[in-house]
Structure 1
Amino acid sequence: MAPRDDFQPSLFEEPLDGHEQFMQEAARLRAALPPTLRFGTSSWTYPGWSGMVYRRSYPKTGATVEMLAEYARCPLFRTVGVDSFFYRPPTPEVLEEYRHALPPDFPLVMKVWDQVTSYALNSPRHHMLRQMGVVQTHPSGRNPDWLNPALCVDAVIGPTVEHLGEHAGVFLFEFETIPRSAGLDAAAFAEQLDRFFGALPVGPRYAVEIRTPQHLKAPYFAALRAHRVAHVFSSWTHMPAIGAQLLHADALTADFTVARALLRPGRTYTDAVEAFSPYDRIQDAFPEGHDDILTLIDRALAHATTVFVIANNRFEGSSPLTITNLARRFLLRDSEPFIFRT
């Protein structure tokens, strides 16, 4: 889609406070963006956004639903990534709370429980759960529930569709790095995906994010396309840049596209947390990452697809400001970045 030549950067006049300033810019951008482009952040429970996204102050924990309701009132945000479902399946009570907190036409991009997607349950959290008897691991080290379609439907997809309704936007299957000892090359992994998605209900939108670069080959993309599953273009520590992923001829595999700006390639999550908290400003601008995402948006929209763009605080320091600047550059290429004044 061609940029809007008549879009002008906004000029702010005092006495706007930080929240009013941010919301005014968000409204200007929303009015000019195409309806098939949905920007959002990776989670929303960050007290450091108070005075910007949030008018009021929030505690570190205990206000998830209230924060979601206020987040969804920001005009620029038309989706949000739900990371918490990765660690435990959503309960009907939580899903109902989210549904009542959200306005119409606000689909979520939801991670699927890692009991379904983790090949080996070997994180410190999984070790603790094994000691408690909550999870089990096969003697080979493989998670016995890996790519278990019945568990996925019963614990995740079924309850989510039932209780979240129209807000059940995208089920995102995040596959952490699969160890070489698993012996899964690109073709074998693709075969597993083909079998799994062939057993899931048709209708919901599914997307796959992988963190094993060796699997980014033709069999993987073919398996996704066969089931209209989207490849997630993620910027992450050990993955090729989004621009490099887009070089694969078959990378657009569904009638919608998902991009996740998580980390600058080469930077670890721990390093980003230490450097960027409390996520209230851009601390390490990544214009090359923006370029890749904008190229992806242009290419995807040329196919008339819905594009979900999710940004993480650890990408540059503040995901609301990353999204704001991506939107500005989409509308007016080479635009000056948005300067947030507190």
Structure 2
Amino acid sequence: MSAYHGSMNTTSPSHPILIGCSGWSYPDWEGVFYPPGLHTSETLSYYADRFPIVEVDSTFYRAPTPGMVRSWYERTPSAFRFALKAPRSITHEKLLKNCEEEVEGFVSSILGLREKLSCVLLQMGYFNRSAFGTQSEFLKVLDTFLTRWPSGQTPLAVEVRNARWINSELASVLTSHGAALTLTEQSWMPTPRQVADQFDPLTGPFAFIRLLGDRQGIERVTTTWDRIVLDRSADLAETADLIQSLSLHAPVFVFANNHYAGHSPETVRQLRRLLALPEPSPPDRPRWTLFD
């Protein structure tokens, strides 16, 4: 395996770094991120004025309707981007096998996002031996799936949650299909930096990083997502260094989850500061509240 030796040479031209949250619809954000009483129909527009990208979790449970996709498109600025999770029927129920109909239905449902569709996230579950006895078995299935995936229409990021399977063999399969390896900061997974120290993590046209944290651990501290409750500054600094290096070679998409430190909008702000990215200047728009 060859380790990734990205450089922090900031004199080289870099690609865009887009940092957003894992979702935008959280009641706990009202009064902290969203103005008190902001109408729910306005939350996406408010979010999109302050972040350049969002990861959509709802599509993991069901494909969006045409009206929903049209609303997302119309309520966001022209430069805004979406990353949508593939439905669990594909990843968790059918385990990437015999799911051509589900793939076709999902992809056709999201094409209305047009240029705002950055990619689809294929978030796999943890595989025990009843699903795949070995990594080799999984990679054969993944290779077949990726061969059929319409990458020309929807670029793909792949997340694997078996820690020992994050290796050059997985990277080789992803590279052969131009699919991005998802790097995660998650309690039982190798960190993005640890992965990059083992092999080149750039397997597709962009880098994809998820700040997920320890769900069970943080929920012993809080289940209210309105403030930072864990100091993750050292972890963020390490990941920021890698993000900067990766951006010299490809665009980087990063998503913060509430479970990472307690309040993902603030995690995004902290990471932006570490990367010296400018704070957005939201336009002065009239807002609807619950009382209008």
Question: TM exceeds 0.5?
Answer: yes
Residue 172 of structure 1 aligns with which residue?
Answer: 121
The whole-number CA distance in structure 2 between the counterparts of 1:57 and 1:260 is 30
| Aligned partner (choices 188, 202, 209) of residue 151 of structure 2 | 202
Residue 259 of structure 1 aligns with which residue?
Answer: 209
Residue 66 of structure 1 aligns with which residue?
Answer: 42
Moved more, 308-317 or 248-257: 248-257
The whole-number CA distance in structure 2 between the counterparts of 1:227 and 1:72 is 31
Q: Tell me the alpha carbon deviations over residues 251-293 of structure 1, each in whole angstroms, 9 at most, x when there is no partner.
A: 2111201110011xxx3x2442352333222111112320332
Residues 180/198 of structure 1: CA separation in 2 closer, same or farther (3 Å cut): same
Q: Percent identity?
A: 28
Helix, strand or coil for the counterpart of 2:130? helix
Residue 291 of structure 1 aligns with which residue?
Answer: 237
Q: How does 1:109-188 map to 2 (within 5 A)?
A: 109-118=83-92, 143-144=93-94, 146-161=96-111, 163-188=112-137
Residue 320 of structure 1 aligns with which residue?
Answer: 265
Q: Tell me the alpha carbon deviations over residues 282-328 of structure 1, each in whole angstroms, 9 at most, x when there is no partner.
A: 1111123203321221221121x111110011101111111111111
For the 8 Å contact 2:15–2:248, the answer to whether it is kept is no
Residue 100 of structure 1 aligns with which residue?
Answer: 74
The whole-number CA distance in structure 2 between the counterparts of 1:249 and 1:145 is 26
**Cα deviation, residue 67, structure 1:** 1.1
Q: Does 1:238 align with 2:188?
A: yes
Quick check: which has more Rg, 1 or 2?
1
Paired letter, 1:169:
S
| Aligned partner (choices 72, 78, 88) of residue 62 of structure 2 | 88
Residue 286 of structure 2 aligns with which residue?
Answer: none
**Cα deviation, residue 56, structure 1:** 3.4
Q: How does 1:205-220 map to 2 (within 5 A)?
A: 205-220=155-170
Which segments of 5 or more consecutive residues in structure 2 lack a partner in the other structure? 1-7, 278-292
The whole-number CA distance in structure 1 between the counterparts of 2:176 and 2:122 is 16
Residue 138 of structure 2 aligns with which residue?
Answer: 189
Which segments of 5 or more consecutive residues in structure 1 lack a partner in the other structure? 5-33, 119-142, 333-342
CA RMSD, Structure 1 to Structure 2 (Å): 2.2
Helix, strand or coil for the counterpart of 1:262? strand
Helix, strand or coil for the counterpart of 2:109? helix
Q: Does 1:223 align with 2:223?
A: no
TM-score, with structure 1 as normaliser? 0.72
**Cα deviation, residue 180, structure 1:** 2.0
Paired letter, 2:172:
A
For the 8 Å contact 2:15–2:247, the answer to whether it is kept is no
The whole-number CA distance in structure 2 between the counterparts of 1:114 and 1:318 is 25
**Cα deviation, residue 144, structure 1:** 4.1
For the 8 Å contact 1:281–1:318, the answer to whether it is kept is yes
Q: How does 1:271-290 map to 2 (within 5 A)?
A: 271-290=217-236
For the 8 Å contact 2:15–2:252, the answer to whether it is kept is no
Matched residues, number: 267
Moved more, 226-235 or 286-295: 286-295
| Aligned partner (choices 268, 276, 279) of residue 331 of structure 1 | 276
Which structure has the higher relative contact order (CA within 8 Å, separation 6+)?
Answer: 2
Helix, strand or coil for the counterpart of 2:198? coil
The whole-number CA distance in structure 1 between the counterparts of 2:17 and 2:194 is 22
For the 8 Å contact 2:207–2:252, the answer to whether it is kept is yes
Q: Tell me the alpha carbon deviations over residues 212-270 of structure 1, each in whole angstroms, 9 at most, x when there is no partner.
A: 1121122211110011100111112321222212223132111201110011xxx3x24
For the 8 Å contact 2:167–2:199, the answer to whether it is kept is no
TM-score, with structure 2 as normaliser? 0.84
Paired letter, 2:142:
L
For the 8 Å contact 1:85–1:111, the answer to whether it is kept is yes
Residues 276/151 of structure 1: CA separation in 2 closer, same or farther (3 Å cut): farther
